[in-house]
Amino acid sequence: MIRPLIAVLAAGVLGVAPLAASAQVEAGTVLHGTIDQNLSSNHAWVGEQVTLSGVYSDNGAIRHARVIGHVREVIHAGQGTAGKIRLSFDELYSRAGTFQIAARVRSIEAVTKTNAGKEAGGAVAGGIIGGLLGHGIGAVLGAGGGYLLAKNNRQNVAISAGTPVTIQLLRSYRQR
């Protein structure tokens, strides 16, 4: 009599376990991890795979997980255009299971270089060219034009491997 009761209780517990695991990965969950590869708006391409490792949740329900995503959009820096990289995250692999996810980036430390060197170089080059072409006033106008041209030249953005990333789940669907 006791054995059948234990079997029924065990089946009940095992039947509820997947529900408890999926409840750990719901919309609004905040996950933290580190990016595994270097990315630059100069070299990245749409569709390039991105991974986060050491992923954990604020509430501790998810630990030592991995998130797979991709580069959704790349804007290369150029005259008047700053470099940008937009990421999307698609899958979460955790001890609780595999989930299809949609998440937004809450924080990531992207690095852009300063334009100070280009601005100074542009002013000097513009001044030299202006001086050669127009003497006096041409040098002043050339320097100003060179500075403005360099000032408008934007830099690419870079994300280094090991950079901390925080994402927030918008949707989550248990796969396995």
pTM over 0.95? The answer is no
Are 51 and 37 a contacting pair, CB within 8 Å?
yes
Position 134 scores a pLDDT of 47
Helix (H) or strand (E) holding 56: strand 49-57
Tell me the domains of the chain and their CATH numbers: 2-111+154-174 (2.40.128), 116-151 (no CATH)
Instruction: Tell me how far the alpha carbon of residue 36 is from its chain's centroid.
Output: 11
How does pLDDT run across 107-154, given as a tens digit for each residue?
998 776 544 454 445 444 444 444 444 444 444 444 444 444 444 457
Per-residue pLDDT in tens (0 to 9) along the chain, 176 residues: 565 545 544 555 444 444 444 446 889 999 999 999 999 999 999 999 999 999 999 989 999 999 999 999 999 888 778 889 999 999 999 998 999 999 999 999 877 654 445 444 544 444 444 444 444 444 444 444 444 444 445 788 899 999 999 999 999 999 87
- Find the angle CA(4)-CA(9)-CA(10) to the nearest 5 degrees: 95
Nearest to 163 by CA among 72, 81, 50, 63: 50
Q: Where are the alpha helices (DSSP H) in 67-165?
A: 116-134, 137-151
Position 125 scores a pLDDT of 46
Find tokens 């998810």 and name the residue: 62
Computed from CA positions of residues 62, 22, 104, 72, in that sequence, does the dihedral angle turn out positive or negative? positive
